[in-house]
Chain A
């Protein structure tokens, strides 16, 4: 059959490329992903510092607990996102389980419930919440672009979902960076508005990922 012969020729050509993968195996891919994530965090921090600068009372003791909570919860979210991103880009490497996000949710929830500072869930000023979400998105956009580019090296078989995960990761990194400048320490505030920023990024990631991650 002529077309079967054509396939055999194709196979011959493919076989000649044996051993020539640029990124050789999943371990190499994960390394690239981790490096990209760390660079993205650095970029987010640089952007936050450049755009609005750290909060004036950054080193003050009374804010330290809040700062720690913000950073720890967002770093946990980033780790969960990184874990999911790796699985999403490597077929057969495991299910995409929401359990990866549970640690972050627990920390946020715990802080929201135990926070006795009485700070408002809407922040210090009328525009606090908008500013928070906006800055998180602003600090996360370039990381999203970078992460999507790296995920393309893998084999994402659910482009929209993978894009959403990339957005989640980028948003969590941006939110981690934002903690440096954020002036609102209320537990409930952080538990609501930081995730809102992350979710906006996830939606953005899904929309872009649908096109960009197909192969």
Chain B
């Protein structure tokens, strides 16, 4: 984003594309639950990107980027999905936590990742496997998972990120073969 202010179009384009990939993954899975198709999901992604772009001058570069990104994404998301009915938009609401987690994992095609995970889950140490299954597959909250595994929320997050990194490294490794 700082590069964008200097006029660096290449860096800015790369950022927008990364954001688009993450948004697309989040929104497709969310809106599918509300009964919407891929075309509409893509429309939402585009609306969010346009919104972020038109208000890019409102990000204070001495402050964290994620809260800014999340606030505008949420606003545009609710606005765009409003026409799809209040119920659908409420069910599909994305949380800040989910967005942050998606951005921290290395960018990968979300659809392909889901297929690989089942195969690779078995290779994880049991602690990481449990956390990934609870958070990533079953969709439990961090708090519920921590309670279930009788550990702290912080440990759950750490395990989750370690597990994700391991899985990503694995699937990238299998690609190079």
Contacts and interface: CB of A to CB of B under 8 A. Distances in A.
A15 B12 CA distance: 6
Given A15-B13, A155-B72, A215 B5 contact: no
B8 interface: yes
28 contacts: A6-B46, A7-B20, A10-B46, A11-B13, A11-B20, A11-B49, A14-B13, A14-B49, A14-B50, A14-B53, A16-B9, A17-B53, A18-B7, A19-B6, A24-B57, A25-B57, A28-B57, A91-B71, A91-B72, A92-B63, A92-B64, A92-B70, A93-B60, A93-B63, A155-B58, A155-B72, A155-B75, A215-B54
Contacts of A121: none
Nearest to B78: A157
A96 to B, nearest CB: 12
A190 to B, nearest CB: 37
B17 interface: yes
A21 interface: yes
Interface string B28-54: 000000000011001101100111011
A22 B57 CA distance: 9
Contacts of B46: 6-7, 10
A157 B52 CA distance: 12
Interface in B75-126: 75, 79
B67 interface: yes
Interface in A11-69: 11-12, 14-26, 28-29
Given A15-B12, A93-B63, A21 B71 contact: no
A25 B16 CA distance: 19
Nearest to B20: A7
B4 interface: yes
A26 B49 contact: no
Nearest to A4: B42
A157 B59 contact: no
A71 interface: no
Top 9 A-B pairs ranked by shortest CB distance? A19-B7, A15-B13, A92-B68, A92-B67, A91-B71, A155-B55, A3-B42, A21-B57, A157-B75
Interface of B: 3-10, 12-13, 16-17, 20, 24, 38-39, 42-43, 45-46, 49-51, 53-61, 63-64, 66-72, 74-75, 79
Contacts of B3: 18
A102 interface: no
Nearest to A93: B60
Contact of B13 (A3, A12, A155): A12
A119 interface: no
A3 B56 CA distance: 24
A8 interface: yes
A154 B49 contact: no
Contacts of A24: 5, 57
B60 A25 contact: yes
Contacts of B56: 21
Nearest to A89: B58
A7 B49 contact: yes
Contacts of A29: 57-58
Given A3-B42, A25-B5, A90-B60, 5 more contacts: A7-B49, A11-B49, A24-B5, A25-B61, A155-B55
